[in-house]
């Protein structure tokens, strides 16, 4: 049984398509087996995209950590054509989908990469993410430490995590490790954690 966070999913490919509808845009996204939420855009992802702030003109380097097939990355790219969007995922099938979804949506400002292919000195102005909670606490904490460490001074990040998947203990851990964390909203159990750099 594979996971959505496998580097090279072995699930037989079964291409499909889902529609993401938000107040300001509608986009069709190609999906497949072996990636996260292939049958519909995840509710947490939709809550994040509806409730977290839209990128501002001064935010020029944006990241979708764990991009999957690109619902967040494509939305950021459409909302902020002036910005460079980094879409990062360990799953090669997800990266391929994200790349073609960005192209199909007319976005030329998305760079899709594996975590190991990021520039070491990348400093980011904002992160919007539905993070891979199921990878386990140790890997998750490492992921947060490395990404929060890339935030520019005064930059912020928005993470959607369901309360049943440990959002409150994650928020406590983030706070205990020196970052400012607040709960921006909670909808249907999905908390959006706003975390700023230090």
Ligand X SMILES: C[S@@+](CC[C@H](N)C(=O)[O-])C[C@H]1O[C@@H](n2cnc3c(N)ncnc32)[C@H](O)[C@@H]1O
Residues that bind ligand X (CB under 6 A): 4-5, 36-37, 42, 45, 64-68, 71-72, 88-91, 94, 115, 130, 132, 135, 143
By beta-carbon proximity to ligand X, the closer residue of 35 and 155 is: 35
| 58 versus 71: smaller Cβ distance to ligand X | 71
Q: Which residue is nearest to ligand X (CB)?
A: 66
Closest CA to 5 of 74, 71, 88, 78: 88
For ligand X, the closer CB: 115 or 149: 115
Residues 3/10, Cβ–Cβ less than 8 Å: no
Q: How far is the CB of 197 from ligand X (least distance, A)?
A: 19
∠ CA(83), CA(26), CA(186), 5° rounding? 80
CA neighbor of 65 nearest in space, from 22, 6, 152, 124: 124
Burial class of residue 8, CB neighbours in 10 A (0-12, 13-18, 19+) = exposed
Nearer to ligand X, 83 or 95 (CB): 95
The CA-atom distances, in angstroms, between 173 and each of 70, 86, 167, 178 are 28, 26, 10, 9
Q: Minimum CB separation from ligand X for residue 168, in Å?
A: 18
Least distance between ligand X and beta carbon 196 (Å): 21
The nearest distance, CB 135 to ligand X, in angstroms, is 5
CB of 112 to ligand X, least distance (A): 11
Measured on CA atoms in the order 65, 78, 44, 39, is the torsion positive or negative?
negative
Nearer to ligand X, 4 or 158 (CB): 4
Residue in this structure with the two tokens 């497949």, named with its chain if needed: 32
């Amino acid at each position: 049984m594979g996971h959505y966070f496998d580097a090279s999913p072995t699930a037989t490919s079964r291409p499909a398509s889902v529609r993401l509808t938000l107040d300001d845009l509608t986009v069709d996204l190609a999906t497949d087996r072996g990636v996260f939420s292939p049958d519909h855009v995840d509710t947490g992802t939709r809550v994040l995209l509806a409730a977290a702030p839209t990128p501002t003109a001064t935010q020029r380097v944006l990241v979708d950590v764990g991009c999957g097939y690109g619902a967040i990355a494509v939305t950021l790219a459409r909302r902020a054509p002036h910005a460079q969007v980094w879409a990062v995922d360990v799953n090669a099938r997800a990266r391929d989908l994200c790349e073609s979804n960005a192209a199909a949506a007319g976005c030329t400002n998305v760079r899709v990469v594996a975590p190991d292919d990021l520039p070491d000195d990348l400093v980011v102005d904002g992160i919007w993410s539905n993070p891979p909670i199921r990878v386990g606490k140790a890997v998750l904490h490492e992921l947060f430490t490395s990404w929060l460490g890339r935030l520019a001074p005064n930059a912020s990040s928005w993470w959607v995590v369901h309360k049943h998947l440990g959002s409150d203990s994650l928020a406590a851990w983030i706070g205990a490790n020196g970052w400012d964390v607040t709960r921006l909203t909670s909808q249907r159990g999905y908390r959006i954690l706003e975390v700023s750099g230090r």
